[in-house]
């Protein structure tokens, strides 16, 4: 039987700077009323100039290690859309700053689904016996790729980081990652895209091409469809029905998406955890940030059956199930 990956530690961090809807409305053609009613977002955290993804990732990682009561791991996997540099990966920098020595450390790029993809690769390292303990981080200085004057994206995205420690164990243990489902559809790559800065177009005279563009409406409908179907597959692999789920912790993009996914699964809306009012969409950071918020608030408690799901750029999506472990409160 495969060795299971068991969640034993959790931590998160956000930058101090708060940007409210009112602050955005003061400098662009939008309103608190529009942003709140269309997305559920009231404010977001934004990094100061000079703060990079590794700064947030290191702090979240430190907190997760503390929560697990450990100071070493065998590998580090960092999910991010906004690495400190196009080259090299940011994972090794974070491992070095955490004093983790020369462990394997690398980045996973699957935008808003990144954290679930990172969990899956970490669980793979554990299943193979390559690692007994892995630090998995989702971290984004996402606002660094957002045009501050674009009303279709600036109100939506924010910065932050969350992390978990996974340790080799048994499927019967609370915290074991149970049923995974992952998928992608590259035909939808243009839905969420930074047109320049990659090998297709390294630089652009138009500075706007270095910012992310999103076809919001199409992303919305695909997000609901894929998060619901991926959740169903992960539940089926676990042997759970939707009625067994205590908490749906979905990628925090839009409260209307989270409610629609709950609806599609036949879950009461209250089962969908929502914290995006405070942080907006933090891409790869959103699920671990939501987990830490929900656990710190005493909402998700030991033994709860939890379903994680996400949809994002690529397009990519995923879902995974776990029974919530006994963790020390942060
Ligand atoms: O994280 C990866 C996954 N990302 C997502 O899941 C995002 C999914 N998409 C969404 O959450 C929504 O599509 C948005 C929140 C981005 C947009 O909401 P929408 O209800 O789909 O609005 P829309 O883009 O269709 O725009 C509706 C109207 C338009 O005006 P007209 O054409 O009806 O006159 C927009 O120009 O709202 C206008 N609009 C705004 N108005 C005020 C667009 N952005 C704004 C704004 N303030 N910030």
Query: What's the N-to-C CA distance of the chain in angstroms?
Result: 33
ω into residue 4 within 30 of 0, thus cis? no
Pocket lining: 51 vs ligand 1, CB cutoff 6 Å: no
- When pLDDT is cut at 50, 70 and 90, the band that residue 2 belongs to is confident
Specify whether the CB–CB gap between 140 and 84 falls below 8 A.
Answer: no
pLDDT score for 330: 60
Whole-angstrom distance, CA of residue 133 vs CA of residue 136:
10
Pocket probe mutation, ligand 1, options 39, 81, 157, 217, max atoms within 8 Å of Cβ: 217
Each residue of 186-236: pLDDT tens digit?
999 999 999 999 999 999 999 899 999 999 999 999 999 999 999 999 999
Residue for token digits 């839905």?
191
Q: How is the chain split into domains, by residue range?
A: 3-170, 177-323
Pocket probe mutation, ligand 1, options 19, 21, 220, 253, max atoms within 8 Å of Cβ: 220
Q: Which residues of 157-188 are buried (b: 16+ CB within 10 A; e: fewer)?
A: bbbbbbbbbbbbbeeeebbbbbbbbbbbeeeb
Specify whether the CB–CB gap between 324 and 197 falls below 8 A.
Answer: no
Q: Which atom of ligand 1 is closest in space to residue 151's alpha carbon? A: 48
Structure tokens at 280: 């907006």
Residue for token digits 């891409």?
283
| Alpha helices by DSSP H, the chain | 21-25, 32-39, 53-68, 91-97, 114-128, 216-238, 255-265, 276-279, 286-296
Pocket lining: 312 vs ligand 1, CB cutoff 6 Å: yes
Each residue of 99-131: pLDDT tens digit?
999 999 999 999 999 999 999 999 999 999 999
Pocket lining: 38 vs ligand 1, CB cutoff 6 Å: yes
pLDDT score for 1: 54
For residue 190, the CA-to-ligand 1 centroid distance in Å is 17
pLDDT score for 256: 98
Specify whether the CB–CB gap between 141 and 282 falls below 8 A.
Answer: no
DSSP 324: P
For residue 62, the CA-to-ligand 1 centroid distance in Å is 36
Q: Which residues of 51-63 are buried (b: 16+ CB within 10 A; e: fewer)?
A: bbbbbbbbbbbbb
Per the prediction, the chain carries an average pLDDT of 97
pLDDT of 152 over the 60 cut? yes
Same fold, 3-170 and 177-323: yes
**pLDDT mean over 152-164:** 98
CA angle in degrees (0–180, nearest 5) for 92-110-116: 85
Crossing angle of helices 114-128 and 286-296, in 10° steps, is 90
When comparing pLDDT for 103 and 330, which is higher?
103
Whole-angstrom distance, CA of residue 134 vs CA of residue 149:
39
* Nearest alpha carbon to residue 4 among 235, 170, 174, 179: 170
ω into residue 248 within 30 of 0, thus cis? no
* Nearest alpha carbon to residue 182 among 28, 79, 296, 59: 79
Which residue, judged by its Cα, is nearest atom 2 of ligand 1?
A: 312
**Number of Cβ atoms within 10 Å of the Cβ of 261:** 28
Which residue, judged by its Cα, is nearest atom 17 of ligand 1?
A: 216
Pocket lining: 157 vs ligand 1, CB cutoff 6 Å: no
Q: Which residues make Cβ contacts (< 8 Å) with residue 304, sequence separation at least 6?
A: 246, 247, 323, 324
Distance between alpha carbon 80 and the CA centroid of its chain, in Å? 9
Kindly state the percentage of the chain with pLDDT values over 70. 99
Q: Active-site residue numbers?
A: 112, 251, 281
pLDDT score for 329: 65
CATH of 177-323, one of 3.40.710.10, 3.40.47.10, 3.30.450.90, 3.30.230.70: 3.40.47.10
**pLDDT mean over 4-29:** 98
pLDDT score for 328: 76
Which residue, judged by its Cα, is nearest atom 38 of ligand 1?
A: 152
CATH of 3-170, one of 3.30.460.10, 3.40.640.10, 3.40.50.620, 3.40.47.10: 3.40.47.10
Pocket lining: 191 vs ligand 1, CB cutoff 6 Å: no
This model's pTM is above 0.95: yes
pLDDT of 277 over the 60 cut? yes
**pLDDT mean over 72-91:** 98
């Amino acid at each position: 039987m495969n060795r299971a990956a068991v969640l034993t530690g959790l931590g998160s961090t956000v930058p101090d700077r708060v940007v409210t809807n009112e602050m955005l409305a003061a400098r662009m053609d939008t309103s608190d009323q529009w942003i709140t009613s269309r997305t559920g977002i009231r404010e977001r955290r934004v990094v100061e100039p000079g703060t990079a993804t590794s700064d947030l990732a290191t702090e979240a990682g430190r907190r997760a290690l503390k929560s697990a009561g450990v100071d070493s791991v065998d590998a580090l996997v960092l999910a991010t859309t906004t690495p400190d540099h196009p080259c090299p990966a940011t994972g090794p920098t974070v491992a070095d700053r955490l004093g983790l020595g020369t462990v394997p450390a690398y980045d996973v790029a699957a935008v808003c689904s990144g954290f679930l993809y990172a969990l899956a690769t970490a669980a793979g390292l554990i299943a193979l016996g390559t690692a007994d303990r892995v630090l998995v981080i989702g971290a984004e200085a996402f606002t660094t790729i957002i045009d501050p004057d674009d009303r279709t994206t600036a109100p939506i995205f924010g910065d932050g980081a969350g992390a978990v420690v996974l340790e080799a164990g048994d499927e019967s243990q609370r915290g074991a990652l149970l049923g995974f489902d992952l998928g992608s559809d590259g035909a939808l790559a243009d839905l969420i895209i930074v047109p320049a800065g990659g090998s297709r177009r390294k630089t652009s005279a138009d500075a706007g091409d270095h910012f992310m563009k999103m076809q919001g409406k199409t992303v919305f409908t695909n997000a609901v469809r894929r998060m619901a179907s991926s959740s169903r597959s992960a539940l089926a692999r676990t042997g759970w029905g939707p009625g067994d789920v205590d908490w749906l912790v979905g990628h925090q993009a839009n409260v209307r998406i989270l409610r629609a996914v709950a609806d599609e699964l036949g879950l009461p809306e209250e089962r969908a955890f929502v914290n995006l009012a405070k942080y907006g969409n933090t891409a790869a950071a959103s699920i671990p940030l939501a987990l830490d918020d929900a656990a710190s608030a005493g909402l998700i408690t030991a033994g709860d059956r939890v379903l994680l799901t996400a949809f994002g750029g690529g397009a990519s999506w995923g879902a995974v199930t776990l029974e919530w472990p006994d963790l020390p409160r942060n």
